[in-house]
């Protein structure tokens, strides 16, 4: 597990993208399916690129965080798929979001356990639990009303984004404390 303190800016980009995605859905609760697909596509592309950059931007000697790179690649592929096949049905989109959230959640929990051992940090584990819980709910209850799902996805984006932003600034302060 690399030193995530070095990558606080990439974590902040991920959090900002998630929060913007969530707020867009909360303040525009009845987007067309196509708009939802495009918003999701933009979000996972940005989040995926930031995750890949973060995975490869480990401190010298720490190695590459392959789990983070894998989640980033999944996000990039999911984002590209939303633009290549925008006619995808709402149910398929929900499953794409569900599987992405589950993969992100598991990876974040595992990475958070490693970070906790290194820096006594728990926010990444909480973010992973939120992602995993969200993905499982979408996977096992996809038939919920479209508006309810939109709000649920919006709240998830805001919570996930806020946790990522808090984590980013916590990592930055840990990095600065390490230099002192």
CA–CA distance, 157 with 161 (Å, rounded to integer): 6
CA–CA distance, 42 with 142 (Å, rounded to integer): 22
The answer to whether 96 touches 76, Cβ cutoff 8 Å, is no
The token pair at 54 is 């973060």
Residue 106 has pLDDT above 90, yes or no: yes
Out of 30-44, 52-66, 70-84, least confident range: 30-44
Average pLDDT rounded to a whole number, residues 110-127: 77
**pTM of the shown model:** 0.54
CA–CA distance, 88 with 101 (Å, rounded to integer): 18
CA 20 from centre of chain: 12
């Amino acid at each position: 597990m690399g030193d995530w303190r070095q990558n606080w800016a990439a974590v902040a980009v991920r959090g900002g993208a998630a929060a913007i995605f969530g707020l867009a859905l909360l303040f525009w609760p009845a987007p067309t399916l196509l708009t939802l697909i495009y918003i999701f596509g933009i979000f996972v592309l940005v989040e995926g690129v930031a995750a890949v950059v973060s995975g490869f931007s480990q401190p010298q000697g720490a190695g590459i965080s392959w789990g983070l790179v894998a989640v980033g690649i999944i996000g990039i592929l999911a984002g590209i798929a939303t633009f290549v096949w925008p006619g995808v049905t709402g149910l398929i989109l929900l499953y794409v979001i569900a599987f992405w959230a589950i993969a992100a959640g598991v990876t974040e929990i595992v990475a958070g356990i490693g970070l906790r051992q290194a820096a006594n940090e728990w926010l990444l584990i909480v973010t992973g639990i939120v992602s995993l819980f969200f993905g499982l709910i979408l996977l096992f209850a996809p038939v919920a009303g479209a508006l309810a799902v939109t709000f649920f996805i919006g709240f998830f984006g805001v919570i996930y984004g806020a946790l990522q932003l808090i984590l980013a600034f916590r990592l930055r302060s840990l990095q600065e404390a390490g230099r002192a």
